[in-house]
């Protein structure tokens, strides 16, 4: 799949680099919207970097004041119906064996956005429970 002569994978890599730059220069409230928008697209769906960034942003926003909570709610509200079947399915959790860092980041997001006991998070725990080294290194 190509867009303007550039492969979709190359485009996603550029977006991931933009996310890494955002992590340096912007506050969580400013980059969370960008991350949500980026992850709406199939091309970035399986990239670990934006999911890790989103998990970090969500964590920071939930620890801060009500204004930050509102920014997160504003991004999540239009997605709360369609993101779970798009990003957080049992099938995707089963992929945790192959891409544990991505799975952990997505589980952290789902735990905060949906419920710590939702099916996706529960299934991810099964696949990651015997891999504590993944959990340690992925959170760094």
Which pLDDT belongs to residue 6? 41
Give me the pLDDT at residue 1, please.
31
Q: What is the pLDDT of residue 68?
A: 84
What integer pLDDT is reported at residue 76 of this predicted model?
97
What pTM was estimated for this model as a whole? 0.81
> b vs e for 89-122, b when ≥16 Cβ sit within 10 Å of the residue's Cβ?
eeebbebbeeebbbbbbbbbbbbbbbeeebebbe
Q: What is the pLDDT along the chain (140 residues), one digit of tens a residue?
A: 333 334 445 666 666 676 666 665 566 777 898 899 989 998 888 888 889 989 999 998 898 877 788 889 999 999 999 999 999 999 989 887 788 889 999 999 999 999 999 999 999 988 888 777 665 555 44
Q: What pLDDT was estimated at residue 44?
A: 85
32 and 58 Cβ atoms separated by less than 8 Å? yes
What is the residue whose two structure tokens read 């891409």?
99
DSSP strand pairing (6-7 vs 2-3) = antiparallel
Query: Which ranges constitute the DSSP H helices of 64-118?
Result: 66-76, 83-87, 90-94, 100-113
């Amino acid at each position: 799949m190509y867009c303007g002569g550039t492969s979709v994978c190359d485009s996603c890599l550029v977006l991931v680099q933009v996310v890494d730059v955002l992590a340096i220069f912007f506050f969580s409230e400013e980059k969370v919207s960008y991350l949500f928008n980026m992850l709406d697209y199939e091309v970035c769906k399986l990239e670990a970097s934006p999911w890790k960034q989103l998990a970090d942003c969500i964590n920071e926003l939930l620890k801060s004041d009500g204004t930050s909570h509102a920014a997160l709610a504003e991004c999540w509200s239009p997605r709360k119906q369609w993101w779970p079947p798009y990003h957080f399915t049992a099938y995707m959790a089963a992929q945790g064996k192959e891409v544990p860092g991505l799975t952990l980041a997505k589980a952290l997001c789902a735990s905060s956005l949906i419920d710590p006991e939702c099916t996706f998070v529960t299934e991810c725990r099964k696949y990651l429970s015997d891999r504590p080294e993944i959990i340690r290194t992925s959170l760094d």
